[in-house]
Amino acid sequence: MTGRTIDVIEAGLVPYGEALEWQRSLAQARLEHRLQHDVLLLLEHPPVVTLGRTSHAAHLLRPDGLEVFEVERGGDVTFHGPGQLVGYPILDLTGYRPDLHWYLRTVEQALIEALAELGIPATRRQGYTGVWTSDGERKLASIGVHVKQWVTWHGFALNVSTDLSHFERIVPCGIPGVVMTSVEREGGKGVGEGSLWDHTIAAVLGGFGRAFGAELRPALAVTAR
């Protein structure tokens, strides 16, 4: 047993700006050692476009009244909306490996394992951080992170049943011609009665546990403030 524990907070539908505040205060608490354990925030956002630090204005094609945030994560422009599972790991990487490339690859690994559990073979694509279908043609999940003194925030966005037409308003991740897809569209399914959403959450938690060698457990009464 490694003794690494990640408290999982399933927060439901949270406006982007509010979740951003949560993340920043959780990360600050973590790096000041006021938080005992690492945290994984799992949530959905109402429709919103965010621009990472390497965004090009031209990649935002039709904002059409959507809220737009410019934020401190790596990467280009992306879209968040209902049906997309957004995960913000607040991890102290000194407890793992102080290595951002290792971290990006391990988040990818966690999602690849989760997708395998849902029956979708997925893979990495050299030079394009994110998780792709096994032929490397369609993108299932985007990743963009920030780290301060080895504490991470921001994270990943996995399309579960997202309305993919929203991605037509942007050049996702700044890669022209990229085709976005979702767990639903790729025919992913879990075992048993639960919804695809619940199966995906369970699979993602399992994937993170294995990829990071950590115990993930539901945290109660952990608030951002």
Partner 1 sequence: MATQVFMEALSPTMEEGRVVKWHKREGDAVKAGDTLAEVETDKAVMDLVARADGVLRQVAVAEGQTVPVGSVVAVIAVPGESGGGQTAPASAPVPAVKGEGGQARPAPARSPARAAAVVAADATRVKASPLAKRIATETGVDLKLVTGSGPGGRVVKRDLEEAGRREKGEVRGAAAPPAVPPQAPLPSPISPALRGGAPYEDVPLTQIRKTIAKRLATSLGPIPHFFLTSEVDMERAAEARDALNRQLGDRGKVSFNDVIIKATALALTKHRACNAWFQDDHIRYWNDVHIGMAVAVDDGLITPVIRDADRKALLDIGREARELAEKARSRRLQPNDYTGSTFSVSNLGMFDIDQFTAVINPPEAGIIAVGAITSKPVVADGQIVPRRRMRITMSCDHRVIDGATGAAYLKTLKEMLENPLAMLL
Q: Which residues are catalytic?
A: 173
Nearer to partner 1, 16 or 117 (CB): 16
Q: From the CB of residue 81, how many other CB atoms can be counted at a distance below 10 Å?
A: 20
Q: Is 143 in the site for partner 1 (CB under 8 A)?
A: yes
Nearest-angstrom CA–CA distance, 139 and 176: 12
Q: Which residues, 6+ apart, have CB-to-CB distance to 74 below 8 Å?
A: 52, 53, 54, 144, 145, 146, 154
Q: Please, what is the end-to-end C-alpha distance for the chain in angstroms?
A: 31
Contacts (CB under 8 A) with partner 1, residues 172-191: none
Q: Is 219 in the site for partner 1 (CB under 8 A)?
A: yes
Nearer to partner 1, 54 or 109 (CB): 54
Shortest Cβ 28–partner 1 spacing (Å) = 10
Shortest Cβ 45–partner 1 spacing (Å) = 19
Nearest-angstrom CA–CA distance, 26 and 195: 30
What is the size of the binding site for partner 1 (CB under 8 A)?
39
Q: Among 90, 76, 84, 37, which Cα is nearest to 176's?
A: 76
Shortest Cβ 64–partner 1 spacing (Å) = 26
Q: Is 145 in the site for partner 1 (CB under 8 A)?
A: yes
Contacts (CB under 8 A) with partner 1, residues 57-116: 72-75, 94, 98-104
Q: Is 148 in the site for partner 1 (CB under 8 A)?
A: yes
Q: Is 3 in the site for partner 1 (CB under 8 A)?
A: yes
Nearest-angstrom CA–CA distance, 45 and 86: 8
Shortest Cβ 203–partner 1 spacing (Å) = 21
Q: Is 146 in the site for partner 1 (CB under 8 A)?
A: yes
Q: Is 138 in the site for partner 1 (CB under 8 A)?
A: no
The packing angle between helices 100-117 and 196-212, to 10°, is 140
Sole window of 133-141, 187-195, 198-206, 216-224 interacting with partner 1 (rule: CB under 8 A) = 216-224
Contacts (CB under 8 A) with partner 1, residues 20-49: 33-34, 36
Shortest Cβ 196–partner 1 spacing (Å) = 26
Token readout for 147 is 């780290």
Residues that bind partner 1 (CB under 8 A): 1, 3, 5, 33-34, 36, 52-54, 72-75, 94, 98-104, 129-130, 143-150, 217-223, 225
